[in-house]
Structures are given as C-alpha cells and as structure tokens.
Amino acid sequence: MSDNTKEILEWIYCILIALVLAMLFRYFIGTPTIVKQVSMKPTLIENERLWLNRWGRTTKTLPQRGKIITFEEPAKTNYTQDEINEANPIAKYNEKTGFAWFINNFLEIGKRSYIKRVIALPGEHVEIKNGNVYINEEKLEEPYLQDGIVTDIIGNGFSDFIVPENSVFAMGDNRNHSTDCRAFGCIPLEKIESTVAIRIWPLNKFGKVQ
C-alpha cells in the first residue's frame, strides 16, 4: 500500500469517527434547531434558533410542568368521535425497528417533530372547559399566554382525562393555531426528544426560554 493510499484511508477513518461522534452527541446530549411552526407564539417565533437539551431522553427523565419540549409527531393526529378513548389518552405511534429506527432517530431523515409546552404530568386530572385548563379541579394559571387566548377542545379531541403513567400532556402557547395533545393524546416518555435549553438567535433575544 502506497503512502498516499494509506494517508487517504486514515483521513476517511478520521472523518467516519467524527461523523459517528457527532451523531452520538446530537442524539444523547443536544443539538441546534430552527423554529418552523407558529404554535408557540409569542414565546417562540418562526426562524428563531434554539439549542435543545437531549440529556433527559438519555436519562429517561420526564420534563417538568412548564418546560418546552420537542417530541416525535404521532402517527395519527386527529380522531373521529368513536376513536376517542379518554380512559387511555395516549398518542399513537408506528413503532420502527432495526435500520428504520436508526434512520428515523439518529439520522432523523423524514422525521417530523412538534414543539409544545408541558401542561400536565402523570396522574393529574386534566379538564378543558370554559376556555381554560384545570388540573386536579384547579384552574391553571398560564402567564405565558397572550391576553385573550382561550383554550378550546380541538375537534373530537381529549378534554377530560387523567394523564397516564410515564407521559405528559402538552400544548402550544398559540392555542388557536396549535395541533397538540388535545387532538392526539398524551406523549409517552420514549417519544419526548428534548427540552428547549436556550434561544441562540436572534442575538438580542439570546438566553433561557421561559
């Protein structure tokens, strides 16, 4: 083997190692992202850049109430009245295995994610009524909402249920323009990808996102 061939192979090896390390860091630690939805206005605006913390997924830790999370888009995002089961209000997913799982989760090719705020935690009774959210019979105070925003049921969605174990109920701050857990049910822990750590762009808004 010539010196030139050996040098090329060494470079290829180094590049492959770097790509693997980058994928591992992105999956287990954190990654940047761009806001592409309007569902979190006014907290998050389209084209803002965020840094996502994925350590919670690595440690299998449920996010706290009020945290903004990203999660994998459910396989079904709306239901007929007959399909609603408030005794088991869990979002439906098509499970992927093997190489399909690797493509979806590590390379994130063709994968869609939602960004919403955690509203309720496991075991809590959620009611959506009179334009507000009630947790265990008490009205939830939501200072992050714009004045005049009301919380209504989405279509044939979920409005009176108990959040299942190891899952969260999440909604967008822009309630009238958000497809969220009201429509498709609570998000299981294994489908939560990250929490929003900081806003990195624009620079005049750099910092922690509340």
Question: 138-150: per-residue pLDDT in tens?
Answer: 999 999 999 989 9
Residue at 124 is within a domain: yes
Residue at 2 is within a domain: no
Distance between CA 210 and CA 204 in Å, rounded?
16
| Residue 94 predicted with pLDDT over 90 | no
Residue at 106 is within a domain: yes
159 neighbors 182 (Cβ within 8 angstroms): yes
Q: How many domains does the chain have?
A: 1
Residue at 17 is within a domain: no
Residue 85: give its domain's CATH number: 2.10.109.10
Parent domain of 65: 32-208
Residue at 42 is within a domain: yes
119 neighbors 40 (Cβ within 8 angstroms): no
Residue at 7 is within a domain: no
Q: Which residue has the higher pLDDT, 12 or 171?
A: 171
Q: Which residue has the higher pLDDT, 132 or 7?
A: 132
Count H helices, E strands: the chain? 4, 12
Q: Can you spell out the DSSP letters for 31-74? A: EEEE---STTTTTS-TT-EEEEE-HHHHHT-PPPTT-EEEEEPP
Residue 39, pLDDT score: 94
Residue at 120 is within a domain: yes
Percent of the chain having pLDDT more than 70? 99
Q: Which residue has the higher pLDDT, 188 or 3?
A: 188
Residue 3, pLDDT score: 65
Distance between CA 103 and CA 107 in Å, rounded?
5
Q: What's this model's pTM, rounded to 2 decimal places?
A: 0.91
- First-residue to last-residue Cα distance in the chain: 58
Residue at 11 is within a domain: no
